[in-house]
């Protein structure tokens, strides 16, 4: 009887302590960095395309807040996008590289499991074009200055004292045509994989 009572009390203290530690990190800010693996949805009248992924950098700052299982996250990121490939005449055989500042708002679902919180998220991003390079030629004047992006993905957060670390993988779906070239469509798409650190907001 005493052993059972002692075990129950120990588990209760562990549960309460873990819950309190978890609550400390419901509000956090931090930084992340990683790699983008981008491609594009291409289309044009009378053209046949071959394409492959373009690898670049992705990273930025974020702030998030959880209310139980659900949360929200705001982000500001620098992300490199583009595609390798070409057509018979439109974009040549060199890589197309587009650099953006991305402002994103995400809805999150996270399951608190002790010091670990796996989660899923989805939302929308607003991209501001910084530069465009197509085979060494500046293509910014032929590109739209903004893009809307759908975002879906997942992350895992691990809590350590006054900070946490996490990994984040997401798929980005361009929702608009980003080129001004007539009879040609270019929509960004691709993956980003990032890791980062977050700090408690008191």
- Give 148-186 pLDDT, tens digit per residue: 999 999 999 999 988 999 999 999 999 999 888 877 788
pTM of the model: 0.80
Mean pLDDT of the 49-75 span:
90
Confidence of residue 1 (pLDDT cuts 50, 70, 90): low
Confidence of residue 51 (pLDDT cuts 50, 70, 90): low
For residues 113-140, one letter each, b for 16 or more C-beta atoms within 10 angstroms of the residue's C-beta and e for the rest, the string is eeeebebebebebebebeebbbeeeebe
Structure confidence by residue, pLDDT tens digits, 119-150: 999 999 999 999 999 888 898 988 899 999 99
Structure confidence by residue, pLDDT tens digits, 19-50: 444 444 689 999 999 999 998 887 764 444 55
14 CB-near residues (< 8 Å, 6+ apart): none
């Amino acid at each position: 009887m005493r052993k059972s009572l002692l075990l129950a009390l120990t588990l209760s203290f562990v549960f309460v302590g873990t819950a309190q530690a978890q609550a400390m990190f419901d509000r956090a800010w931090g930084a992340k960095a990683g790699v983008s693996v981008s491609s594009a949805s291409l289309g044009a009248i009378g053209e046949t395309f071959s394409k492959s992924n373009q690898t670049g950098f992705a990273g930025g700052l974020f702030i998030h807040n959880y209310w139980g299982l659900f949360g929200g996250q705001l982000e500001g990121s620098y992300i490199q996008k583009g595609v390798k490939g070409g057509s018979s005449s439109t974009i040549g055989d060199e890589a197309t590289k587009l650099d953006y500042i991305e402002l994103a708002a995400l809805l999150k679902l996270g399951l608190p499991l002790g010091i670990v919180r796996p989660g899923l998220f989805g939302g929308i991003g607003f991209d501001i074009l910084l530069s465009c390079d197509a085979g060494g030629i500046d293509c910014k004047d032929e590109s739209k200055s903004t893009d809307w992006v759908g975002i879906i993905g997942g992350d895992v957060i691990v809590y350590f004292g006054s900070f946490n670390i996490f990994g984040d993988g997401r798929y980005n779906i361009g929702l608009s045509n980003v080129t001004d070239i007539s009879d040609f469509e270019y929509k960004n798409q691709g993956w980003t994989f990032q890791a980062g650190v977050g700090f408690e907001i008191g």
